[in-house]
Amino acid sequence: MDYKEQFDFWLNDDYFDEDTKKELLAIRNDEKEIEDRFYKNLDFGTGGLRGVIGAGTNRMNKYTVRKASQGLANYILKNNGADMGVAIAYDSRLYSPEFADEAALCLAANGIKAYVFDALRPTPMLSYAVRKLGCKAGIVVTASHNPPEYNGYKVYWEDGAQVTPPHDKNIIGEVNAVEDFHTMKTMSKQDAMAKGLYNVIGKEIDDAYMEELKKQIIHPDVIKDVADDIKIVYTPFNGTGNVPVRRILEELGFKNVYIVPEQEMPDPKFTTLEYPNPEDPKAFTLALKLAKEKNADIVMATDPDADRLGIYALDKKSGEYIPFTGNMSGMLIAEYILRERLATKSMPANPALVTTIVTTNMAKAITKAYGVTEIETLTGFKYIGEQIKLFEQNHSHNYVFGLEESYGCLAGTHARDKDAVVAVMCLSEVASYCKKQGITLWDMMIECYEKYGYFKETQYAITKKGKEGLEEIAAMMEKLRNNPPKQIGDYKVKEFRDYKVDKVENYENGQTGKTGLPTSNVLYFDLEDDAWCCARPSGTEPKIKFYIGVKGTSLEDSDTKLNALTDALKAML
């Protein structure tokens, strides 16, 4: 069916409820809106669904959630996972509880046990619950840091990580094979509970998760020594982090934790936030105001599903709060963990730090300094989580830390996804250690720059909405792929990697090889002097992202180099 036929089907078929039909009637004279809602099915990508909430095949609604759940159910049944069941969590967004129940009741109608949290929970707690409960799969209903009109649906496999090959492609195939809405199963919640197919989970998982986090503390005595003095401002951005973050900080003994009142409680409209993203400086406006009132040492914010953390730290010399990128905060935690684990002789044998191909090159310098293996994966924390599973299977390494540039990291192996709750805990310990030494987190960051080099990174994104936008993004990638530059600005390209065709071209010696990583639509340009850039269409938003990194000799030098390289890239595009 074309988009007009799909629109008529949704408007007239008895399968769809009256509220859906009323919403569609309101747009019946808007041809462009009808086309955008129905020209395709909402893509079930390698991570699941994410889209604007509303009626239509290209929107997040109970019918697209049911379709995804039916496809997942079919795959679970083929893999004999019905009795193992599926754990389900959800965030504070519009319709998140309803979509979670829609998924659970579709699974139940297929004879698959569902374990649903009793209230909103962070994404990393779902990752933990999947393994703790011995489930075959997991689902999180969240759109992470997207604007309030979005929601999403992420799928995890039995290892606790988001699905990776071959499961991701196989699940996509099953979801795409579900074409007739009338074949999608569901049942009443009452019947599902009576049959033991809908189960509620809560405190027992919370308590076990907290105990796992505490195992990552290296110096509990340091926290106790400064607990009365250190001041922390925290905001959960009206999301899922409020309860677990406050609980872990309280149980560790921190006395002065101040919560941004306007952003404390769940708010699906994110009223005080233009964009609930810890990467956005504007999102910290209220937190920084509170920090100045309290003279806080550190300001932290978790995104709505609490898997990503943003921070500001006080610079005593200027009295200002300095923003940290995900690379910077991740490197502080990495430096602290590696240094202190070696000092306390608690470093495991064959330690490994896992990063992605777009993470700062400072990670290479830090791991080299401490004799730790660095392993790079494709962009996406699911690949970092997959490495933990592989380490356990082949006994090649022991995971000590993992991070990606987009404000996500994981200490410990309790979860297999980025975990902002454990990141808050770790950074609070690092800040305590600094406090005891009479320095700030910003001072420690400068020490790292002086020791390893002034690495700095940025992102440049181009947003292209709608069908035409997707075509423009694809054309942009093909142009770079077919005619890769040999020089970008002042930097010669040393090596070009095309992860889609698994090819590496070394421009210095003319040799070619393979990337050694799974297929992905990513282009990477390794430049002179530890500089680099990478092009990648977003898997969750209608944009193409360019990641850019340099190494300078000072803050000013790295700023100058980064701006020049970014300008050169923009001019080239």
Write the CA distances from 277 to 153, 270, 308, 461, integer angstroms: 18, 11, 9, 15
Residue 465 and residue 52: Cα distance in Å, rounded? 12
AA identity, residue 68: A
Residue 55 and residue 65: Cα distance in Å, rounded? 12
In a 3-state reduction of DSSP, which class is residue 323?
Answer: strand
- List the structure tokens of 492: 């010669």
Q: Which helix (H) or strand (E) holds 116?
A: strand 114-117
Q: Which helix (H) or strand (E) holds 393?
A: helix 381-394
DSSP state of 184: -
Contacts of 569 (CB under 8 A, 6+ apart): 460, 488, 489, 533, 546, 548
Residue 253, phi-psi category: left (phi > 0), alpha (psi -120 to 50), beta (remainder): left
Contacts of 135 (CB under 8 A, 6+ apart): 84, 85, 86, 87, 115, 129, 158
Counts for the chain of helices (H) and strands (E), in that order: 19, 23
DSSP string, 207-230: HHHHHHHHTT-S-HHHHHHHTTT-
The percent of the chain in helix, strand and coil, each rounded to the nearest 5, is 40, 20, 35
In a 3-state reduction of DSSP, which class is residue 258?
Answer: strand
Catalytic residue among 92, 96, 144, 329: 144
Residue 90 and residue 98: Cα distance in Å, rounded? 9
CB atoms within 10 A of CB 246: 17
Residue 139 and residue 156: Cα distance in Å, rounded? 6
188 in catalytic set: no
Residue 243 and residue 421: Cα distance in Å, rounded? 10
The CB-side HSE value for 235 (13 A sphere, CA atoms) comes to: 28
In a 3-state reduction of DSSP, which class is residue 78?
Answer: helix
Residue 502 and residue 519: Cα distance in Å, rounded? 6
Tokens 């989580």, residue located: 385
319, with CB counted inside 10 A (0-12, 13-18, 19+), is exposed
Give catalytic residues, as residue numbers.
144
